[in-house]
Amino acid sequence: MSATIIDGKAIAQEVRSGVAEKVRALKERGINPCLAVILVGANPASVSYVTGKRKALAEAGMLDKSVDLPESTSEEELLSIIDSLNKDPAVHGILVQLPLPKHIDEDKVIMRIAPEKDVDGFHPVNVGNMVIGRDGFLPCTPHGIIVLLKHMGIETSGKHAVVIGRSNIVGKPVALLLARKDVNCTVTICHTGTPDIGSFTRNADIVIVASGHPHTLTKDMVKPGAVVIDVGVNRIPDATKKSGFRLVGDADFDDIKETASYITPVPGGVGPMTIAMLMYNTLESAARIV
């Protein structure tokens, strides 16, 4: 048996095409969805992520009110810019690219973004709404994972899902979304304090691995027919590549694909869904003012 490879690029493109269609409809009513992406400094990975987000905005026909700031920008200056964007009725979403320079308090920055413009879904108000099942912006990567599962027609109700990782960005929120009634999984969270992660994953129907370390999930930890969603993006040396490295996930893809029923590749799996769901959230924010 060989797993079905979940094509995150294709599914993300479907989401983005749907967003673009709805953007055109909103524009006909005089509403032009707009996202402001704030980049502080020139971290290469952050620059790459922001470039992808800006490209997606252009493709969707949304306004791009991005702000590029030098590394030396003070916390007060950044907070002031957020305040002005919060007050601007033409801006529907605000995203501050993380990580920030060490002299800036990330929590303070996230708290400053108005919840109704927090299209990343990181503000405590939106996190709280997610916990209790009220409307709010869902964090993009976890939401994208749920969309992948639903799009592939993977049965989730009553299934045992194991999440490896407890970050505020992926692990905790995806566990909450999996437990919601519309997904209906029984959820176990494993982390660095779990003595034998394999004892949990071997009984799992669905494994979401978001540990941030390659080889976290190996073939012997996966039961035949399980679904594996790999959130990790790790650079490992590879002399055969022009860049000198290649990207791998947190799961041993080549081995596990012979055991699993479905698996996401890295790259091309979960990653494209993150930007797609950001576009979706920005559209939702603009649509709320109709």
pLDDT tens for 16-44 read 999 999 999 999 999 999 999 999 999 88
Backbone phi and psi for residue 260, each to the nearest 5 degrees, phi listed first: -75, 165
Mean pLDDT over 87-97 rounds to 97
pLDDT at 289 over 80: no
Residue range 148-176, pLDDT digits in tens: 999 999 999 999 999 999 999 999 999 99
The residue annotated as part of the active site, out of 65, 117, 118, 120, is 120
- Which CATH class name applies to 29-116? alpha beta
Would you call the peptide bond into 265 cis, given omega within 30 degrees of 0 as the criterion? no
- Give me the pLDDT at residue 245, please: 81
3-class SS of residue 148 = helix
Mean pLDDT of the chain: 95
Provide the token pair at 24.
């055109």
Q: Does residue 137 or residue 48 have the better pLDDT?
A: 137
Kindly state the percentage of the chain with pLDDT values over 70: 99
Distance separating alpha carbons of residues 270 and 276, to the nearest angstrom: 10
pLDDT tens column, 110-133: 999 999 999 999 999 999 999 999
Q: What integer is the mean pLDDT of 52-69?
A: 95
Comma-separated ranges of CATH 3.40.50.10860 domains in the chain:
29-116
Does 167 carry a binding-site annotation?
A: yes
Q: Would the annotation count 165 as a binding residue?
A: yes
In angstroms, the CA 127 to CA 111 distance is 12
Q: Is 233 flagged in the annotation as binding?
A: yes
Do you know the residue count of the chain?
Answer: 290
Fold of 138-271: Rossmann fold (3.40.50)
The answer for residues whose C-beta is within 8 angstroms of residue 44's C-beta and 6 or more apart is none
Has 120 been annotated as catalytic? yes
Smallest Cα–Cα separation from 68: which of 96, 35, 92, 102?
A: 96
Task: Report the alpha-carbon distance of residue 252 to residue 60 in Å, rounded.
Answer: 34
Residue 64 appears among annotated catalytic residues: no
> Kind and range of the H or E element at 101?
none
The DSSP line for 118-148 is -TTS-SHHHHHHHHHT-S-PPPHHHHHHHHH
CA distance 159 to 205: 6
How confident is the model over 216-255, as pLDDT tens digits?
A: 999 999 999 999 999 999 888 878 888 888 889 999 999 9
The residues of the chain that CATH labels 3.40.50.720 are 138-271
Indicate the pTM of the whole model.
0.95
Catalytic residue among 65, 97, 118, 257: 97
pLDDT at position 290 over 80: no
